[in-house]
Amino acid sequence: MSLPTKDHCEEKNAHDAETSNGGQEHPFYVDTHYIKALLYWNETANEHDNTKKFFDDVLPEILPEPVTGKSFFNVLGVGSGTGKIDLHILSTIQKLRPDLKIYSETIEPTKEEIDLYKASVSNTPELSNVTFTWHNKSVVEYEADVKQNNTAKKFDLIHMVQMLYYVKPVKETLEFLKSLLSPEGRLVIVVLSGECGWVKMFRNNIYPSNQDFNLDLDSDQTTDILDAIVMRYEIHDIDSFMDVTGLVEGREDSELLLDVIMDEAEFAKTASPDLKAQLMADLQDPEFTFRKDGKIWLDTRVKGIVARH
Ligand SMILES: C[S@@+](CC[C@H](N)C(=O)[O-])C[C@H]1O[C@@H](n2cnc3c(N)ncnc32)[C@H](O)[C@@H]1O
């Protein structure tokens, strides 16, 4: 059984939480327009709700049996954004096991998102057993700090929801996170399915971009890496579809979705007319989208991968 480490001696509750300093901000996420776009997408698409349901299904399996006598549960959220999924996970753990003390740590390079996360903490009931710490940095910077200060701590749950695309190098980072897992701990990765239209769009079309992200990284590549670093895993399907009808019909309020689809802040304003035309054609191509109930849907299905030692 792993024990609470020194970090936990400096306990902060939800209303007096701690953020470690420093951290290079993600170049696109510092843009509040982009954060607005992500929040709009969370509200209008079904991915977040279905991801929460996925965690509802798997958390009972991940939590320790009461007979083990374990009294605390360490959670690390990597790339948590505004923390909507994290707070769902934490309050669900607390509901399932009110006897457990929960230590939540978050690695998130964008300060603006951490601020929104903190604001939600104050408004979320059922978090009285949770102690929060935020690390305002990228996972690579976190790894460097841990190694330099020799402060590696073990986690019972590490989750990375829709963020693996931004991590470099992926294999080494997953290897590092594996090393932080407690013996019975789980690494849960939510990433686009290799079969979904969104990934195929990025694979089949070369969208000119100055970004250095793996936007076409998918669940198959992720499990190949997990095989290479010798982790066992199970894979769950999570439905996710984005209504792009308004975009195709040129409705202005839908334009925010372009930022999310292309991972570009203010894409509608900055992209060339050719690129926009290409994207509009792709959004009507049956290889990537489908029509149902009078609407056009982009297939954005994800997989939930639950990995362990
Ligand atoms: C698409 S958002 C997902 C946010 C959240 N997990 C969710 O599902 O709502 C990706 C998040 O990863 C963060 N991110 C980007 N690069 C990162 C890195 N190298 N290390 C940790 N987080 C990173 C971004 O700032 C952003 O908040």
For residue 137, the 8-state DSSP code is S
293 lies in some domain: no
**Confidence band, pLDDT 50/70/90 cuts, at residue 206:** low
Distance from C-alpha of 112 to C-alpha of 114, rounded to nearest angstrom = 5
Which of 17 and 307 is assigned the larger pLDDT?
A: 307
Spacing, Cα 281 to ligand 1 middle (Å): 29
Return the residue whose CA atom lies nearest to atom 4 of ligand 1.
Answer: 81
Distance from C-alpha of 98 to C-alpha of 259, rounded to nearest angstrom = 40
* Count of residues in the chain: 309
Return the residue whose CA atom lies nearest to atom 15 of ligand 1.
Answer: 166
Average pLDDT of span 60-74: 94
222 lies in some domain: yes
- Is ligand 1 within 6 A of the CB of residue 162? yes
Can you say whether residue 221 is alpha, beta or left, with left for phi > 0 and alpha for psi between -120 and 50 degrees? Answer: alpha
pLDDT of residue 133: 97
Residue 29 has pLDDT above 90, yes or no: no
R_g of the chain, CA atoms, integer Å: 19
Distance from C-alpha of 113 to C-alpha of 109, rounded to nearest angstrom = 8
Structural domain tally of the chain? 1
- Is ligand 1 within 6 A of the CB of residue 78? yes
| Host domain of residue 41 | 11-243+301-308
Share of the chain above pLDDT 70, in %: 87
Return the residue whose CA atom lies nearest to atom 11 of ligand 1.
Answer: 79
100 lies in some domain: yes
- Is ligand 1 within 6 A of the CB of residue 47? no
Residue 38 belongs to what H/E stretch? helix 32-44
Distance from C-alpha of 63 to C-alpha of 66, rounded to nearest angstrom = 9
287 lies in some domain: no
Question: What atom of ligand 1 comes closest to residue 161's alpha carbon?
Answer: 6
Residue 299 has pLDDT above 80, yes or no: yes
Distance from C-alpha of 289 to C-alpha of 111, rounded to nearest angstrom = 34
Please, what's the b/e burial string for 269-288 (b: 16 or more CB within 10 A of its CB; e: otherwise)?
A: eebeeebeebbeebbeeeeb
255 lies in some domain: no
**Confidence band, pLDDT 50/70/90 cuts, at residue 10:** very low
**Confidence band, pLDDT 50/70/90 cuts, at residue 22:** very low
Distance from C-alpha of 164 to C-alpha of 213, rounded to nearest angstrom = 9
**Confidence band, pLDDT 50/70/90 cuts, at residue 74:** very high
Which of 143 and 27 is assigned the larger pLDDT?
A: 143
Residue 102's CATH number: 3.40.50.150
Average pLDDT of span 92-119: 95
35 lies in some domain: yes
Question: What atom of ligand 1 comes closest to residue 138's alpha carbon?
Answer: 20
131 lies in some domain: yes
Pick from 166, 170, 256 the residue to mutate for probing ligand 1's pocket: most ligand atoms within 8 Å of its CB. Answer: 166
Task: Decide if 51 contacts 237 (C-beta within 8 A).
Answer: no
pLDDT of residue 211: 63
Q: Which of 79-88, 170-179, 194-203, 293-302 has the lowest mean pLDDT?
A: 194-203
Q: Tell me the H-state helices in 130-169.
A: 139-149
Residue with tokens 């996972």: 139
Tell me the pLDDT tens digit for each residue of 135-159.
999 999 999 999 999 988 999 999 9
Tell me the pLDDT tens digit for each residue of 37-56.
777 777 777 899 999 999 99
- Is ligand 1 within 6 A of the CB of residue 163? yes
Residue 208 has pLDDT above 80, yes or no: no
128 lies in some domain: yes
